[in-house]
Amino acid sequence: MLGPGAAGKSTLARRMGEITGLPVVELDEVYWGEDLVPLDRQEWVRRQQDLTAGPGWILDGDLGPHDVLETRLDVADTVIVLDLPRRVCAWRALRRSHERWDFWSWLLRWRRESRPRLRAALAGRPLDVRFLRSQRQVEAFIDGLERAAEA
């Protein structure tokens, strides 16, 4: 699950976990230590390898310029990108908490900087990639997942 801050990644990941029974891991909780000190690159790669060693999982998080996304993409079969409008993400972020300046900077630059890097990382990979660009598309995706689980 990838996308800008406050796009709804954690909410969707939890819902997907409920429907599929797959374990859900919020990557922010693994990557950021006390006082928001990040893991070093090698340790982050190792932790992601550990998280993806099992037969099925849902990883929720987009760490922007801090991420080593290829580690997850090498073993994923599906990637969900929440690409909701910036105004929606900003409104949600304002409602949920007081965010640091680096969060806002990343959120404002996500489409211009992170999304092109993400598209480049996804290019040529045999993955099922879904870009969900509205809350309506997110809800339709969940409905489809629920129907598939019931079948």
**Secondary structure (3-state) at 72:** helix
Asked, for residue 140, whether it belongs to a domain, the answer is yes
Asked, for residue 4, whether it belongs to a domain, the answer is no
Q: How many domains does the chain have?
A: 1
Q: Which pLDDT value is given to residue 35?
A: 82
Q: Which pLDDT value is given to residue 77?
A: 96
Among 22, 137, 150, 16, CA closest to 82? 137
Q: What is the mean pLDDT of each run of 10 residues along the chain (151 residues)?
A: 96 98 96 88 96 95 91 96 97 90 92 95 96 98 96 84
Q: Which pLDDT value is given to residue 133?
A: 98
Asked, for residue 2, whether it belongs to a domain, the answer is no
Q: In whole angstroms, how far apart are CA 51 and each of 111, 112, 126, 127, 135? A: 27, 29, 21, 19, 28
Q: Which pLDDT value is given to residue 97?
A: 79
Asked, for residue 98, whether it belongs to a domain, the answer is yes
Q: Which pLDDT value is given to residue 126?
A: 96
Asked, for residue 1, whether it belongs to a domain, the answer is no
Which residue range(s) make up the domain with 113? Answer: 9-150
Q: Which pLDDT value is given to residue 34?
A: 83
**Are 20 and 58 spatial neighbours (Cβ–Cβ below 8 Å)?**
yes
**CA distance linking residue 124 with residue 45, whole number of Å:** 21
**CA distance linking residue 39 with residue 63, whole number of Å:** 12
